[in-house]
């Protein structure tokens, strides 16, 4: 099955980023495909390379970057939501890219299921 993922919450305020990441890992382990992960609203904060959690805490941004690299997953950050939060191309962590809502629409069309994490 091909999944599209929508993440609407930031990495440390809510569990949505962690849950989405763990869902992706589990789906991939079961042989499913992740078509794209789209970060929207406060979810765009999952892409900021300026995030520096304490050493003994999980680094959600780094986890997404590594997962994308390992499985060739398209990590897309909504341009309008990112700019509202001060996130620009130069602030993105590796393997993230900025694009528009058209990418979310395409994900809904291309994927068998679109799974949303966060409000």
Catalytic residue IDs: 78
CA nearest to 117, candidates 27, 4, 25, 33: 4
Residues in the chain: 119
Alpha-carbon span 36 to 109, nearest angstrom: 11
Rg value, the chain, Cα: 13
């Amino acid at each position: 099955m091909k999944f599209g993922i929508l993440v609407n919450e930031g990495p440390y305020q809510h569990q949505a980023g962690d849950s989405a990441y763990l869902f992706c890992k589990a789906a991939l382990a079961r042989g499913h495909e992740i078509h794209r992960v789209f970060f929207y609203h406060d979810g765009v904060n999952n892409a900021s390379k300026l995030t520096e959690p304490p050493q003994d805490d999980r680094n959600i941004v780094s986890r997404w970057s590594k997962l994308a690299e390992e499985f060739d997953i398209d990590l897309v950050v909504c341009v309008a939501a990112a700019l509202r939060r001060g996130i620009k191309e130069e602030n993105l962590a590796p393997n993230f890219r900025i694009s528009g809502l058209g990418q979310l629409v395409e994900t809904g069309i291309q994927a068998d299921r679109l799974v949303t994490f966060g409000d």
